[in-house]
Amino acid sequence: MKNILWCVLLLCHTALFSQGTIEWVIPMGTYYEIKSWNGYLLVGSKEGWNILDENLNPVLASRFQKIDALGEWGLAIKENGLWGFRHLKNLQEWAVQPLYTGDYWGTSRDRDRANTWLYKKED
């Protein structure tokens, strides 16, 4: 009886704990960089960067020079050498048009400015 109970628990464990997860199978060599963000994939390839949904379909029609997450709420997207921003609520439209030059200050560059973006508006 114990063996049957263990088998049932083992089989049910997979179904119980796999709910709400997303699995992506991506062909090797397609992208040189892949980041997971809010149920999307931010992918970089030789053609440029884009956002893929859970079915691996592009969310945006065009490709960009770079896409980086700004936490859970938005993305910084580089187009034609300038950065703009898109919000999670509407990835199809620019929240802020690409007007800014800038760089990401990661943790290795400056401890006082760890994980912050510094931008300058082009004149």
Provide, rounded to the nearest whole percent, the portion of the chain with pLDDT above 70: 62
Residues 120, 100 contacting (CB under 8 angstroms):
yes
The domains of the chain are located at 29-121
Which pLDDT score is estimated for 106?
A: 44
Residues 82, 101 contacting (CB under 8 angstroms):
yes
Ranked by mean pLDDT, which of 6-10, 90-94, 96-100, 118-122 comes out on top?
A: 90-94
pLDDT for residue 116 is more than 90: no
- Provide the sign of the torsion angle of the four alpha carbons 94, 69, 79, 104, taken in this order: positive
Of 4 and 61, more confident? 61
Which pair of structure tokens corresponds to residue 13?
């464990």
Whole-model pTM: value is 0.66
Which pLDDT score is estimated for 75?
A: 92
Element (H, E) at 16: helix 2-17
Q: Which residues of 7-38 are buried (b: 16+ CB within 10 A; e: fewer)?
A: eeeeeeeeeeeeeeeeeeeeeeeebeeeeebe
Within 10 Å of residue 51's Cβ, how many Cβ atoms? 20
